[in-house]
Amino acid sequence: MKMIPRVLVLLPFLFWHAQQAHAWTVELTQDELQTRVNRMVPIEKNQLVFTVLVSAIEVDLKDGSDRVGLRSKMEIKSPHFSTGKGEAYIEGKPVYKPTDGAFYFSESEVKDVKFENIPDKYHSVIRKLFEVAIQRRLAETPIYKLDEDKTKHQIARTLLKSVKVLDRKLVLELSLF
């Protein structure tokens, strides 16, 4: 009978240890993530007399964060002014959609926008066009997709444990059970 209390005390430790042994991580370096993000551009949004063209997005990973920073360059065209340029900084959170077995940017937020050669009165309209275009593309285009042909990936599709940035890598930790 003395053995049962000992087993009960050890049971939570054994369960935690078994879970840790079945965790699996995917690490994406900033360069690997950049390659995937490059597939999203160009992004073009037309509204009335404005055209916003996002030509480049640069990935910015910050240690200790669960969000990914993106710097984008854009070109703005309108008959109301000569072609202008802009830059923006966006932050998004990688989220996992088990039904797709893929990671997407979610909760993307435009933090900073700067324009050149564009009259001030058009800044808010152009910013809104940019936000709609970038948020839609980020939400619809996967940044990483688990391989359906790999057994380990099929099992891992069931549960995302955590997402974080460590050593300029995006670390996606999945639990196999």
- pLDDT above 70 covers a percentage of the chain that reads 79
- Please check the confidence at residue 152 and state whether its pLDDT lies above 80: no
**Per-residue pLDDT tens for 100-128?**
888 888 888 999 999 998 899 989 988 99
Q: What is the pLDDT of residue 3?
A: 53
Q: E-assigned strands of 62-140? A: 68-78, 81-97, 102-116
- pLDDT, position 36: 87
Quote the pTM value.
0.74
Domains of the chain (ranges, CATH numbers): 23-175 (3.15.10.40)
- Which segment of 38-52, 124-138, 152-166 scores lowest on mean pLDDT? 152-166
Give 164's Cβ-side CA count (13 Å radius).
Answer: 9
Average pLDDT, integer, range 16-39: 72
* Cα–chain center distance at 11: 37
